[in-house]
Amino acid sequence: MVKEYLENVRRLVPLVHNITNYVTVNDVANVLLACGGSPIMSDEPEDVEDITSVCGGLNLNIGTLHKSSIEGMLKAGHRANELGHPVLLDPVGAGASALRTNTALRLMRELKLTAVRGNSSEIKTLYLGSGTTKGVDADVADAVTENNLDESIGFVKGFAKETGSVIAVTGAIDLVSDGDRCYVIRNGRPEMGKITGTGCQLSGIMTAYLTANPEHPLEAAAAAVCVMGLAGETAWSRMEKGDGNATYRNRIIDAIYNMTGEDLEKGANYEVR
């Protein structure tokens, strides 16, 4: 029954404060509108506390850090924690630089995070405290596969238990756990990796889902992962000869815009372990 999480977003139109990278920020804004939420962006330390106060949730994405935006993330995060708003961390490129790794670890230490969503290399970096992420993509050696599935589920459950956050590791197979249960999700298309920012978009959507479903963070996070993956499948089915990653990007956002609760219920491909 994932459809109620989608329908709550469409009904409640959660306002999401995003401190995110300047590469994919426009897509994050449009996908938040597409899924039924409403986006606002602000990273200036003097502005963020006011902005987060009028919002319902906070999405922190470290894709293009600046010293002042790190300060903005901490200020906004503390204010959101005071207000009881869900806070999500997307540790883009953790493991690829000391600044990214250390900033992600600091945000995990100083803030109460409702959820952390990244690729397998980024999440392993956070678990180990250091890493060797290859840029912004996951290392093949770190990928969740059918062969290492049990072990991967154990890792994600353990890390969720340790941190008290929902942990979402996304890739060919997606794992979302709160420490007790783990959603194993098999929606999506490999071609989504040829679009910049599908992970950032998912983090935006997931924050909207967490905000509109405050009693069910695990299910809301898992539903958001299904939405993004299913949109990738729907969009792919509309691709025509000559279309490439730019058109695919647009069609994915379009698919999210048009997705109903029934579509999600029918298309979501997951098991709970």
Instruction: Give the residue with the Cβ less far from a second copy, 194 or 266.
Output: 194
State which of residues 12, 41, 105, 108 lies at the interface with a second copy (CB under 8 A).
41
Q: Is there a contact between 9 and 203 (Cβ–Cβ < 8 Å)?
A: no
State which of residues 123, 167, 225, 255 lies at the interface with a second copy (CB under 8 A).
255
Residues 162-181 that bind a second copy (CB under 8 A): none
% helix, strand, coil for the chain, step of 5: 55, 15, 30
Instruction: Give the residue with the Cβ less far from a second copy, 152 or 203.
Output: 203
Contact call for residue 40 and a second copy (CB under 8 A): yes
* CA 270, chain centre distance (Å): 17
Give the dihedral of Cα atoms 72, 74, 80, 83; nearest 10 deg: -120
Contact call for residue 247 and a second copy (CB under 8 A): yes
Instruction: Give the residue with the Cβ less far from a second copy, 40 or 149.
Output: 40
Q: How far is the CB of 10 from a second copy (least distance, A)?
A: 12
Q: How far is the CB of 172 from a second copy (least distance, A)?
A: 17
Q: Which stretch binds a second copy (CB under 8 A): 36-44, 75-83, 159-167, 182-190?
A: 36-44
Closest C-alpha among 83, 8, 23 to residue 51: 83
Interface mask (CB under 8 A) for a second copy, residues 124-143, using x and -? ---------xxxxx------
Q: Which stretch binds a second copy (CB under 8 A): 93-101, 118-126, 141-149, 263-271?
A: 93-101
Q: Is there a contact between 81 and 111 (Cβ–Cβ < 8 Å)?
A: yes
State which of residues 2, 9, 27, 220 lies at the interface with a second copy (CB under 8 A).
27
Instruction: Give the residue with the Cβ less far from a second copy, 117 or 251.
Output: 251
Q: How far is the CB of 95 from a second copy (least distance, A)?
A: 9
Contact call for residue 266 and a second copy (CB under 8 A): no
Contact call for residue 245 and a second copy (CB under 8 A): yes
